Structure 1
């Protein structure tokens, strides 16, 4: 009987710990993350995006997300495991961009997917982002499907200034 109680308690604890891991693939920003990753790598796999876009410092700024509660945020293992997990990669990108606040990087009067892409690539120095023709073309191919306006190779005008972020 004691074994049954122990097993029941273990399962309840495991379920409650798993509930702490947010499903970022259901986030409203997920389609945008798909587009910025496709633009960055030319591929649809988030692992490629992680390989080319998410450094350990980037991951740390995003809050050092982990795949499971038992993973260590302080070890290389936690970072490496996150970079192999779709949800953790997407969450890292979303949390990183949120960490800088809703900066209107291209000065179009709103915070949108193009600003998210600029923050992903340039952090707080996202003012008048220079995306380049290949990145803009890849982004536009994807973004048109989710209702985002076309990205220019350089966004924002001469009067565009973004306030300093923390």
Structure 2
């Protein structure tokens, strides 16, 4: 399976929605639930679903440490998001917003809500989505 090609502007808006793209964000217990890490606010099970990518040299570390090291480093975190989207983008639930196409808006829903239930109706109430859509409008990501 080839890894999803996600437009850079789309990734930037996902990052903006996740942490205001703060590269210095450490792992923390999140208001939105779970233990989230890095500028893309990635959960451990998300990282595991993405194939648990690791930084070079981290192959033999315990998974908890390899997870934190990866998702706190922007390139590994982006690879995690690409892997995760690849896993879900061709599934029957990939069109999260039911608009007939799978695009950046679906990717952010997969990222925030999870690939297993991305059509949940939290888009109107979760502040991360308004940050994403504001970024999307200003950058015209696709």
TM-score, with normalisation over the residues of structure 2?
Answer: 0.71
* Deviation beyond 4 Å, 4+ runs, structure 1: none
> Any stretches of 5+ residues in structure 1 without a counterpart?
1-21, 150-166
In structure 2, how many angstroms separate the alpha carbons of the residues matched to 1:73 and 1:60?
16
Q: Contact conserved, 1:66 with 1:73, CA < 8 A, in 2?
A: no
Q: Which residue of 2 aligns with 1:127?
A: 119
Measured on the aligned residues, the alpha-carbon RMSD in Å equals 2.8
TM-score, with normalisation over the residues of structure 1?
Answer: 0.62
> Any stretches of 5+ residues in structure 2 without a counterpart?
26-35
Compare the two structures and name the one with the higher helix fraction. Answer: 1
| Greater relative CO (CA pairs within 8 A, separation 6+) | 2
Post-superposition offset of 1:73: 6.5
Compare the two structures and name the one with the higher strand fraction. Answer: 2
Post-superposition offset of 1:97: 1.9
Cα separation, partners in 2 of 1:47 and 1:55, compared to 1, 3 Å = farther
Post-superposition offset of 1:47: 5.3
Q: Which residue of 1 aligns with 2:10?
A: 32
Tell which structure's C-alpha radius of gyration is larger. 1
